[in-house]
Structure 1
Amino acid sequence: MYLGLDLGTSGLKGILINEDQEVLAEATAPLSVARPQQGWSEQAPADWIGAAEKVLSQLAGAGLGGLRGIGLSGQMHGAVLLDGADDVLRPCILWNDTRAHAEAAELDAMPGVRALSGNIVFPGFTAPKLVWLARHEPGVFARVAKVLLPKDYLRLWLTGEHVAEMSDAAGTSWLDTGKRDWSEALLTASGMQRAQMPRLVEGSEVSGQIRPELAQRFGMPAGVVVAGGGGDNAASGIGVGVVKAGQAFVSLGTSGVLFAANDGYQPDPETAVHTFCHALPGRWHQMGVILAATDALNWFARLTGTSAQDLTADLGPLKGPEKTLFLPYLGGERTPLNDAAIRGAFIGLAHATDRAAATRAVLEGVSFAIRDCRDALAATGTRIESLLAVGGGSNSRLWCAMIATALGTPVSLPVAGDFGGAFGAARLGLMAATGAGEEIAHPPAISAVIEPDRALEAAFDEGHARYRAAQAAIRGLT
């Protein structure tokens, strides 16, 4: 048996699989976020341990006596600050915390930072958080002996080891992403030292073994190995089998992600594309990220006093975009704009614009934002030959048809099942325990393939051109 633990922002999930990668049991535990000031987002690492204890206790009921490997996945970019005794110094500053926006801009402007890290320094990344800490909480900063990412604090509890892996470390702005090692220059830029960093392993490598007292407590055998694991999106890439150049997935969750695997390192920070290490040796991945996907649809549902399901229930078949446009920038945008100030808009409203037309405009606007991400990835040389759709929004065949037609690429829908971060983490645990290679990270069975509507591609091209013009006009107003 192999266990995947995925530490999300709203909860911790565990999935138990067997040698054939069949799911044997699942368990979850909720988490909450504290927002003590505007723009702040924090969690207490002790709550993660409590959630892990609940999940492991639930899974122990299914029997963990045959467990051989554990993999970890989790929210990226968070700063867990430990003193010399491994005591937590303050609540973890999370990925969606924006307090360090000024510090991020300063680091990003330093010569060589983008070239080494392969990325823009975004406010949510880890390095600017430590610069903020040095300025605003210098007493805490002076006591920092180790900085861990969220899932790696779980690893410390499980194994007693300070370890990170490449995919998560690439989101700190401290990693030389091409060389897959901590960068002395990047650390120095934010006042940090290598001694404060955990050691690095690949995601499919062994990072440690379960502590004997935990093995005994939860009915595990001695010597269970813990894999390096992966950041949430990299682990999801393992879960859906996106591990080679040409493979990609689009995730339609609260936010939207276009994730593509690469066999080589080909960054282009100016595109606002994330270029990170993958959770497998010698592999990288790139992501275009939009901040509102199903979140945009849910916002419109609240505005109209109905549900997202009701809005999309009777839209009918795919047709070309109408004059009404929607820009889904409800809280800023990341790829390709890197603009925290831009906001969303309906454009081209008319007397004939009814609820159905406005709903279509919302779905089309998100589809065009995903096309912007595709174009940004293409500018770096990344190609997409196969595309899987995952996340709650992928349940809408119409939405998938819009994306397929806007991108000119077939969209494959997996069979029912959970192929996300926890499943990918379990696969990494299997690799670490058995020495199996990436061949086990195969794509899931496909239930349907949504082909682009070639007769409507020109209409979607024209709609996207109008979308880009509206985007430029809105940026001039914010």
Structure 2
Amino acid sequence: MSDSSLFLGIDCGTQSTKVLVYDAENREVLSRASVSYELTSNRPGQAEQAPSMWVQACKECIADALDGAGNERGDVAARVKALGVSGQQHGMVALDENKKVIRPAKLWCDVESAAEAEELSKLWGTTIVPAVTASKLLWLKRHEPDSWERLAHVLLPHDYINFWLTGRLCMEARGQSAGGTGTAPAACLRTRCLLARPPTCPNRSYNHNWPLSPTHASDACGTGFLDTAGRCWDEARMETFGCGRIPASMPELIGPGEVVGTLLPAVAKQLGLPEGVQVAPGGGDNAMAALGAGAVHEGTWVLSLGTSGTLFGPSGKPILDPSGTINPFCDSTGQWLPLLCTLNCTGVSEEIRHAFGLSHEEITALAAGERSGCSGTTLLPYFAGERTPNWPNATGAVLGLRPGSFRPGLLYRAALEGATFSLLAGMKRLQQYGLAATELRLVGGGSKNRLWRRIVADSFQLPLRFPAEPEAAALGAALQAAAVHSGTPVGEYVEAHAPPMETEVMQPQHEAGEAYRKSFARHQKWGACLFGGGSCEI
């Protein structure tokens, strides 16, 4: 048996946790495992999970993945050198002064903080959506004052897993600058006053390792408190919440090239792993998926068809979009990662499929027989409200119905097209900032549907490539762990260990482009008419 080093990639997602075992020397995924779970949604807009559920899922997944790699005698586990954690972004994990969870985590798809998001948008002069952690913290202050008073630490989901693994409270947000100076850009210097402990504010107690260097911030940028262009905390935004409360609660900031620590002895024993296994910083699921899809250069964009729909890619400049359509995120290689995220993607098509009681194969075959553009039928996929556009109270709608339109194939295709058009709107917005895509790399559960692949290629009029590894975020986390363990910059490591692609490259059919242009225009018009206050003249 090979004695090459192994690395674990963990993806703590909304519906499940996935783990894979990666052999870096042979560039091979040896095994995968997953555990599914539910979220709490007892009232409109609520979406919460207990962090303890993520921990239990990690334990089960790691054990299953090691067993799948042939760990009968423990020899596979003994070869594991490091692991990395990808996590759903924005989720608010609130801890007390004893580092105990105060309440269930409010997830990215929780929109109960819509009013708070609107309030912060007005205060900060930009669009803040309910998904962002800052709005959830203001919700906590307003609706659960007892929990707010107990609040001592704020983590994101993958940070909490790192804390369980190592005992260290930190957030992936900084690292050595491209030039190796480790100095802060001028835009960050104004925030250094936060380190002081003014006599008027006795609550302040910081351990932030300031000033921040101008590099990585793939997950901290999702809190709403990070100055993305300067890659440092925004003092004015933090002070919105009252003297010192938020700055004192935010964890130490580290970069994706650093090591969080090693497994706690008790945790290593629980997991059947040797002591000394390193834990890489990890990051937000989209930044990790970019690594797992090999998207480390401008022009290569990733489109993910999952519970949420996302479109993102590396950029050499920050994109600061006041409309909030494009999130000003950073990647995990030292660049920026402008990103569009929609709440409604695969769940919409699943609603239609379940309503007709058909299998994926049956309903997809029926949908393939329908015309591009669905003969004028438009499905607005806002079943769970919507993050982009910022319409948290929107609902799903079907328009343009004619006699005989209630065909399962037509409605299913309309759902696929509607979810795709929401993402296409993001690409149109990115083009306004001078960003151009040369190809899309399609990931997520929906990417396995060949009809959906065709709809994406023809709607975007771009060639599609398909990463061979279905769990792109978990692979990205494993690649980051391998890079950190080797001391190689993450971007360089991913280039040298390019994730494998399927042999197929799907080219767009230009003749279908016109039908989709018209259908996309209807989608945008109807959405603005019903939920955005726009004109209803179609």
User: What code does the residue aligned with 1:14 have?
Assistant: V
Distance 1:466 1:56 in 2: 47
User: What code does the residue aligned with 1:150 have?
Assistant: P
Find out whether 1:261 has 2:314 as its counterpart: yes
- Tell me how far 1:34 sits from its aligned partner: 2.4
Distance 1:325 1:60 in 2: 46
Question: What is residue 459 of structure 1 aligned with on the other side?
Answer: 515
Find out whether 1:297 has 2:302 as its counterpart: no
Question: What is residue 91 of structure 1 aligned with on the other side?
Answer: 104
Instruction: Give the 5 Å matches for 1:66-215.
Output: 66-111=79-124, 114=126, 120-165=127-172, 166-191=217-242, 192-215=245-268
Question: What is residue 487 of structure 2 aligned with on the other side?
Answer: 435
Distance 2:118 2:149 in 1: 23
Equivalent residue of 2:328, what SS? strand
Alpha-carbon spacing, 1:436–1:319, altered in 2? closer, same or farther (3 Å): farther
Question: What is residue 58 of structure 1 aligned with on the other side?
Answer: 64
1:156-201 residue CA offsets vs partner (Å, 9 max, x unmatched): 1111111111211111111111222222222111233423111112
Which of 374, 380, 383 aligns to 1:330? It is 383
Alpha-carbon spacing, 1:98–1:431, altered in 2? closer, same or farther (3 Å): same
8 Å contact kept, 1:204–1:229 = no
8 Å contact kept, 1:77–1:172 = yes
8 Å contact kept, 2:162–2:168 = yes
Number of residue pairs aligned between Structure 1 and Structure 2: 469
Equivalent residue of 1:278, what SS? coil
Equivalent residue of 1:72, what SS? strand
Which of 2, 10, 21 aligns to 2:7? It is 2
User: What code does the residue aligned with 1:164 have?
Assistant: M
TM-score by length of 2: 0.81
Distance 2:409 2:101 in 1: 51
- Gapped runs of 5+ residues in structure 1? 115-119
Which of 31, 34, 37 aligns to 1:28? It is 34
Equivalent residue of 2:438, what SS? strand
8 Å contact kept, 2:95–2:153 = yes
Question: What is residue 48 of structure 1 aligned with on the other side?
Answer: 54
Alpha-carbon spacing, 1:403–1:161, altered in 2? closer, same or farther (3 Å): same
Which of 328, 349, 354 aligns to 1:275? It is 328
User: What code does the residue aligned with 1:462 have?
Assistant: K
Distance 1:375 1:217 in 2: 48
User: What code does the residue aligned with 2:121 have?
Assistant: D
8 Å contact kept, 1:103–1:123 = yes
Alpha-carbon spacing, 1:348–1:179, altered in 2? closer, same or farther (3 Å): same
Equivalent residue of 1:249, what SS? strand
User: What code does the residue aligned with 1:132 have?
Assistant: W
Equivalent residue of 2:64, what SS? helix
Distance 1:472 1:458 in 2: 21
Find out whether 1:385 has 2:438 as its counterpart: yes
- Tell me how far 1:403 sits from its aligned partner: 1.6
- Tell me how far 1:374 sits from its aligned partner: 1.1
- Tell me how far 1:380 sits from its aligned partner: 2.8
User: What code does the residue aligned with 1:313 have?
Assistant: A
Q: Percent identity?
A: 36
- Tell me how far 1:65 sits from its aligned partner: 0.8
Distance 2:16 2:520 in 1: 36
Distance 2:383 2:252 in 1: 39
TM-score by length of 1: 0.91
Alpha-carbon spacing, 1:325–1:84, altered in 2? closer, same or farther (3 Å): closer
- Tell me how far 1:217 sits from its aligned partner: 4.3
User: What code does the residue aligned with 1:249 have?
Assistant: V
Distance 2:507 2:383 in 1: 30
Distance 1:342 1:9 in 2: 22
Distance 1:133 1:35 in 2: 17
Which of 444, 457, 462 aligns to 2:500? It is 444
8 Å contact kept, 1:267–1:380 = no
Which of 409, 433, 436 aligns to 1:356? It is 409
User: What code does the residue aligned with 2:337 have?
Assistant: H
- Tell me how far 1:308 sits from its aligned partner: 3.6
Comparing 62-71 with 353-362, greater Cα deviation is found at: 353-362
1:267-324 residue CA offsets vs partner (Å, 9 max, x unmatched): 21315211211122x2111222222222222122233332343111144478542222
Comparing 221-230 with 28-37, greater Cα deviation is found at: 28-37
Question: What is residue 283 of structure 2 aligned with on the other side?
Answer: 230
Distance 1:346 1:380 in 2: 32
Alpha-carbon spacing, 1:58–1:154, altered in 2? closer, same or farther (3 Å): same
Higher strand share: 1
8 Å contact kept, 1:44–1:91 = yes
8 Å contact kept, 1:127–1:190 = no
Distance 2:324 2:131 in 1: 17
